[in-house]
C-alpha cells in the first residue's frame, strides 16, 4: 500500500471511501515520474511529493467532463500537479494548482473559455495527481514534467539545447580554463550561461591574455619538459614547468574567479595598483605585463556588444506575438558584460496571452539551469511573484523579477523586444516561403496536398567500406534535425559498393520499424487534430509517417525501393520520388522519377528545383559526415577490441606493458601472464586470437 493510503487509513478516513476507490498506487509509470530522485528541481532543493491518483471503477469507458467529475470527488484541497491523459495513455496537459480540488472542479463543470481547453477536456480519459507541500514545489514539478513529457496542450520550449559555460577546474593543483557544455560532473567553478560557443571561445581567449591560465589537458600538462607555445605568446603562465610557483598561479586563478563572479572593478584596481608599483620600482618589464593584462580585461568588457553600466548580473526576457506565433528573446548579462542572446519560438496556442506564455516559458527555461540574481521582463508574467519564490528556492538565493519602467534597465528590455520583433518577422517570412515551396512541390509532383513530412535518403561509402545510410527530414518549418537518422549497413550479403542493396536494407529497417511503432498512423497525420501550429513540435505533434520519400538515385534505385515498400504493404501510403543527377552531374539538370509518369526535368530557375536541390545537398552533407565519423572510428580501432574478455582496463594494461597491439600479438603466454590483471586463461585467449594454429 502506498504511504498516502497508509496515512489515510491511520487517520480513520479510509473506511469512509466507496469500495471502487483504491488508494494503492498501481501505475508504475506514475510512480516513476514522481519519485523524488527522478525529478531534479535544482541542485540544492529537497523535493517531496505524494502520488495521489484515485482509480474509479465506474469511470471506465468515460471521457471528458464525466470522467473528471468522477475523479474530482476525492481530491484533496491541497497544492499539487495534475496530468490529463487520453485513452491511449498520452499526456495531454500538465498543470499545477494551489488547490487540486478547486482547479479540477472547473474542468468538470464543462464550461470553457477557449476551444483549446474544450478540446483538451473532451479527449481526457483519465487523470493523475501529485500532492505537494507547497505551491512552489508544484510549480517546479510542473515545469519538470512539461519538459519531460511534452504534452501537446502546454506551452513547450522547442529548442532546449544546453548552454555553454566557462569551467575553472578544481580537481588539479594548477586549475585550467575550459569551455563546458552538459552535466556539471567535473569538480570546479562554472560561469555562464553564454548564448553561443563562439562567445565562450572569444571570452576564454581574452581571459587567457588577462590571467595567463592554462587550457591544456591534464595529460599534456604532466608530460611537458619545457613551456609550450602559449607561454611564449604570453597566454599562459607556464605552471607545467615551474615558470610560476603554485602559489603565484593560485593568485591568478582567484583573480579570474573574482572577475567572472562580478567583481571586475576590484580586479582591475588591484592590477592597476600592481602596475604602478612596478613602474615606481623601475621594473618596467613587470609593469608592461600588468599593462597587457589590463588591456585584455578591457577587451573582454568592450567586445561583447551592448554593456550596461548599472547592471552587473541579469537575464533579460522580451516576448512578442504576431501571426499566431511567439518569439521570446533572451539576453545574458554577467560581470557587466553582454554574454550573448538567443531567440526562442515556443509552441503555444495562439489564444494564450503573452503573460501566460512568458510565465510558463520561464519556469521551463530555468528547470535545469541557475537564473541570474535579477530577471528583467518586457512585461509582467503570469504568477510573477510565485515564480520569483520558486526560482529563489531552486537557486538557493534571492531572485528578483521586475518589469523596468525607466532608465538603463528599461533600455535593455526595449532592445530585447526590438530583437524579438525582428526575429519573429524573419521566421514568419521563412515560414511563408516554406509554405509556398511545399505547395509548389505538391503541384509539381501531383500530390493531393502539400506534404507535412518529407524524408530524403542517401548512402555514403568508399569502395563499400564503412557504408552508412542517411535520412534527413523536412517539414513546414524547414529541416527537423532531431528527426535525422543514420543506418550503419549491417548485412554481410551485400556486395561491397552495391548501392541498390544498401538502399533496400535502409528502406527495410526504416519502414519495418514504422509499421511496428506507428501502425495506425496515416502519412502526414499528426498525433492529434490540433492544426498546423502543432506540426513541428520536436517530439510532440510532428508526424512519424512521411508523405514523401526522396531517393538520391535513378530508375534502378527506385525499383529497389518500390519493391521493399510493396513487400511491406506500404507502397500506397507514401509517394516515392527518385532524383537522378543530370548529364555531367550538373546542378539544374536533374531528372525526376515518379511512379505512373515518364521521367522529367524541371526548368532551371524553378523554385521547386532549388528546394529539392537543398534537400539533396543536406542529405549528402549528413551522409558524408556520418560516413567519415564511422571511418575515423574504424581507423583508431585496436585489434585488442576484438578479443572477448578484454575490456578497457586489461587493454590499457597490455598496451602499457608492451607499447603497441602488434607487440602484444607477438608476446608469448608466459610474458602475457606477467601483466597485472591478466590471468593465464585470459593470456591464452589473447595468444590464441593472434595464433590460429
For 316-362, write each residue's pLDDT tens digit: 999 999 888 899 999 988 877 778 888 888 888 888 889 999 999 99
Look up residue 677 and give its DSSP letter.
T
| 530 within 8 A of 542, measured Cβ to Cβ | no
Question: Helix (H, G, I), strand (E, B), or coil: what is residue 273?
Answer: helix
Arithmetic mean of pLDDT, 126-131: 88
Length of the chain: 693
Which region among 37-41, 99-103, 446-450, 486-490 has the lowest average model confidence (pLDDT)? 37-41
CATH entry, 452-633, from 3.40.50.620, 3.40.50.970, 3.30.420.340, 3.55.30.10: 3.30.420.340
CATH entry, 314-360+370-426, from 3.30.420, 1.10.3470, 2.60.40, 3.30.70: 3.30.420
Strongest mean pLDDT among 57-61, 370-374, 686-690: 370-374
pLDDT of 40: 41
Output b/e per residue, 618-632; b: 16+ Cβ within 10 A: bbbebbeebbeebee
Taken in order 368, 370, 372, 375, is the CA torsion positive or negative?
positive
Has residue 14 got a pLDDT over 60?
A: no
Alpha carbon 531 to its chain centroid, in Å, reads 25
Q: How far apart are CA 274 and CA 623, in angstroms?
A: 56
pLDDT of 572: 78
pLDDT of 319: 94
Taken in order 138, 139, 145, 150, is the CA torsion positive or negative?
positive
Arithmetic mean of pLDDT, 550-563: 85
Q: Average pLDDT, whole number, for the chain?
A: 78
Q: How far apart are CA 170 and CA 145, in angstroms?
A: 33
Arithmetic mean of pLDDT, 565-570: 86
Q: How far apart are CA 3 and CA 9, in angstroms?
A: 10
Q: Judging by beta carbons within 10 Å of its beta carbon (0-12, 13-18, 19+), is residue 451 exposed, middle or buried?
A: buried
* Of 513, 546, 543, residue with least CA distance to 525: 543
Arithmetic mean of pLDDT, 466-494: 85
Arithmetic mean of pLDDT, 389-410: 90
pLDDT of 583: 67
pLDDT of 337: 75
Read off the pLDDT band of 36 (50, 70, 90): very low
Has residue 533 got a pLDDT over 70?
A: no
Has residue 432 got a pLDDT over 90?
A: no
pTM of whole model > 0.75? no
Look up residue 188 and give its DSSP letter.
E
* Of 420, 389, 210, residue with least CA distance to 294: 210
Phi, psi angle pair for 441, to nearest 5°: -60, -45
Has residue 626 got a pLDDT over 70?
A: yes
Is the fold of 3-149 the same as that of 639-690? no
CATH entry, 639-690, from 3.90.76.10, 3.30.1330.60, 3.30.390.10, 1.10.150.20: 1.10.150.20
Instruction: Name the CA radius of gyration of the chain, rounded.
Output: 31
CATH entry, 3-149, from 3.90.1150.10, 3.90.180.10, 1.10.1240.10, 3.40.1440.10: 3.40.1440.10
Q: Greater confidence, 196 or 472? A: 472
Has residue 19 got a pLDDT over 80?
A: no
Q: Greater confidence, 290 or 443? A: 443
pLDDT of 405: 92
Read off the pLDDT band of 199 (50, 70, 90): confident
Arithmetic mean of pLDDT, 640-667: 80
| 155 within 8 A of 352, measured Cβ to Cβ | yes
Cell 509548389, located at residue = 440
β-pair type (548-552, 485-488): unpaired
pLDDT of 541: 60
Has residue 417 got a pLDDT over 90?
A: yes
| 377 within 8 A of 317, measured Cβ to Cβ | yes
pLDDT of 466: 75
Between CA 356 and CA 355, with CA 382 as vertex, the angle to 5 degrees is: 45
Q: Sketch the domain layout of the chain as residue ranges.
A: 3-149, 164-302, 314-360+370-426, 452-633, 639-690
Read off the pLDDT band of 184 (50, 70, 90): confident
Read off the pLDDT band of 159 (50, 70, 90): low
pLDDT of 262: 65
pLDDT of 81: 92
Strongest mean pLDDT among 105-109, 204-208, 387-391: 387-391
Q: How many CB atoms lie within 10 A of CB 174?
A: 20
pLDDT of 637: 62
pLDDT of 300: 59
pLDDT of 369: 82
Has residue 54 got a pLDDT over 60?
A: no
Has residue 630 got a pLDDT over 50?
A: yes
| 492 within 8 A of 464, measured Cβ to Cβ | no
| 92 within 8 A of 120, measured Cβ to Cβ | yes
Q: How far apart are CA 147 and CA 285, in angstroms?
A: 56
Among the residues of 261-400, which ranges form H helices?
264-280, 284-302, 354-365, 384-395
Arithmetic mean of pLDDT, 142-157: 87
Q: How far apart are CA 524 and CA 535, in angstroms?
A: 9
Find the helix or strand (DSSP H, E) in which 402 lies: strand 400-402
Amino acid at each position: 500500500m502506498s504511504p498516502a493510503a497508509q496515512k489515510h487509513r491511520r487517520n480513520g478516513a479510509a473506511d469512509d471511501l466507496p469500495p471502487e476507490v483504491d488508494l494503492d498506487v498501481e501505475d508504475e509509470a506514475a510512480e516513476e515520474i514522481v519519485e523524488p530522485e527522478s525529478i531534479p528541481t535544482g541542485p540544492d532543493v529537497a523535493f517531496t511529493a505524494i502520488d495521489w491518483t484515485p482509480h474509479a471503477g465506474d469511470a471506465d469507458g468515460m471521457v471528458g467532463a464525466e470522467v473528471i467529475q468522477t475523479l474530482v470527488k476525492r481530491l484533496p484541497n491541497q497544492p499539487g500537479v495534475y496530468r490529463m491523459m487520453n485513452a491511449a495513455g498520452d499526456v495531454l496537459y500538465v498543470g499545477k494548482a494551489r488547490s487540486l480540488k478547486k482547479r479540477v472542479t472547473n474542468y468538470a463543470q464543462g464550461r470553457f473559455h477557449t476551444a483549446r481547453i474544450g478540446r483538451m477536456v473532451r479527449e481526457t480519459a483519465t487523470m493523475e495527481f501529485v500532492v505537494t507541500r507547497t505551491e512552489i514545489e508544484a510549480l517546479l514539478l510542473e515545469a519538470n514534467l512539461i519538459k519531460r513529457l511534452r504534452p501537446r496542450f502546454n506551452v513547450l520550449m522547442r529548442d532546449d539545447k544546453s548552454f555553454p559555460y566557462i569551467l575553472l577546474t578544481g580537481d588539479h593543483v594548477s586549475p585550467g580554463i575550459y569551455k563546458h557544455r552538459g552535466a556539471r560532473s567535473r569538480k570546479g567553478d562554472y560561469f555562464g550561461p553564454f548564448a553561443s560557443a563562439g562567445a565562450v571561445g572569444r571570452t576564454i581567449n581574452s581571459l587567457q591574455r588577462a590571467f595567463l591560465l592554462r587550457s591544456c589537458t591534464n595529460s599534456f600538462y604532466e608530460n611537458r619538459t619545457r613551456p609550450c607555445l602559449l607561454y611564449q605568446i604570453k597566454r599562459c603562465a607556464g605552471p607545467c614547468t615551474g615558470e610560476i610557483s603554485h602559489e603565484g598561479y593560485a593568485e591568478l586563478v582567484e583573480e579570474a574567479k573574482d572577475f567572472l563572479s562580478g567583481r571586475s572593478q576590484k580586479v582591475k584596481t588591484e592590477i592597476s595598483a600592481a602596475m604602478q608599483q612596478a613602474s615606481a620600482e623601475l621594473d618596467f618589464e613587470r609593469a608592461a605585463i600588468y599593462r597587457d593584462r589590463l588591456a585584455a580585461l578591457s577587451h573582454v568588457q568592450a567586445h561583447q556588444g551592448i554593456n550596461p553600466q548599472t547592471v552587473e548580473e541579469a537575464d533579460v526576457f522580451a516576448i512578442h506575438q504576431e501571426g499566431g506565433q511567439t518569439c521570446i528573446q533572451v539576453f545574458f548579462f554577467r560581470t557587466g558584460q553582454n554574454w550573448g542572446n538567443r531567440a526562442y519560438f515556443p509552441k503555444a496556442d495562439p489564444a494564450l496571452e503573452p503573460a501566460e506564455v512568458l510565465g510558463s516559458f520561464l519556469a521551463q527555461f530555468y528547470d535545469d539551469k541557475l537564473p541570474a540574481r535579477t530577471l528583467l521582463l518586457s512585461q509582467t508574467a503570469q504568477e510573477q511573484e510565485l515564480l520569483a519564490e520558486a526560482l529563489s528556492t531552486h537557486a538557493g538565493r534571492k531572485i528578483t523579477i521586475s518589469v523596468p519602467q525607466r532608465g538603463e534597465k528599461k533600455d535593455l528590455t526595449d532592445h530585447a523586444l526590438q530583437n524579438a520583433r525582428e526575429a519573429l518577422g524573419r521566421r514568419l517570412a521563412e515560414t511563408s516561403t516554406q509554405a509556398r515551396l511545399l505547395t509548389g512541390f505538391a503541384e509539381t509532383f501531383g500530390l493531393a496536398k502539400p506534404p507535412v513530412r518529407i524524408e530524403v535518403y542517401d548512402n555514403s561509402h568508399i569502395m563499400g567500406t564503412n557504408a552508412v545510410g542517411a535520412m534527413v527530414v523536412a517539414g513546414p518549418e524547414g529541416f527537423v534535425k532531431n528527426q535525422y537518422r543514420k543506418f550503419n549497413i549491417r548485412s554481410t550479403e551485400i556486395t561491397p559498393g552495391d548501392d541498390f542493396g544498401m538502399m533496400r536494407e535502409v528502406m527495410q529497417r526504416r519502414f519495418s520499424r514504422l509499421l511496428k511503432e506507428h501502425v495506425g498512423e496515416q502519412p502526414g497525420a499528426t498525433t492529434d487534430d490540433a492544426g498546423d501550429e502543432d506540426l513541428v513540435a520536436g517530439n510532440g505533434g510532428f508526424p512519424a509517417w512521411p508523405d514523401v520519400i526522396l531517393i538520391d538515385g535513378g530508375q534502378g534505385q527506385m525499383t529497389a525501393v518500390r519493391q521493399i515498400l510493396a513487400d511491406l504493404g506500404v507502397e500506397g501510403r507514401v509517394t516515392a520520388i527518385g532524383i537522378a543527377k543530370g548529364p555531367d552531374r550538373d546542378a539544374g539538370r536533374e531528372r525526376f522519377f515518379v511512379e505512373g509518369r515518364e521521367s522529367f526535368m524541371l526548368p532551371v530557375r524553378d523554385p521547386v528545383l532549388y528546394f529539392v536541390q537543398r534537400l539533396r545537398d543536406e542529405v549528402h552533407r549528413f551522409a558524408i559526415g556520418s560516413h567519415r565519423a564511422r571511418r575515423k572510428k574504424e581507423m583508431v580501432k585496436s585489434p585488442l577490441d576484438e578479443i572477448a574478455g578484454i575490456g578497457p582496463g586489461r587493454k590499457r594494461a597490455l598496451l602499457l606493458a608492451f607499447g603497441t597491439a602488434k607487440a602484444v600479438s607477438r608476446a608469448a603466454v608466459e610474458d602475457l601472464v606477467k601483466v597485472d590483471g591478466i590471468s593465464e586463461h585470459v593470456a591464452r585467449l589473447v595468444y590464441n586470437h593472434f595464433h590460429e594454429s
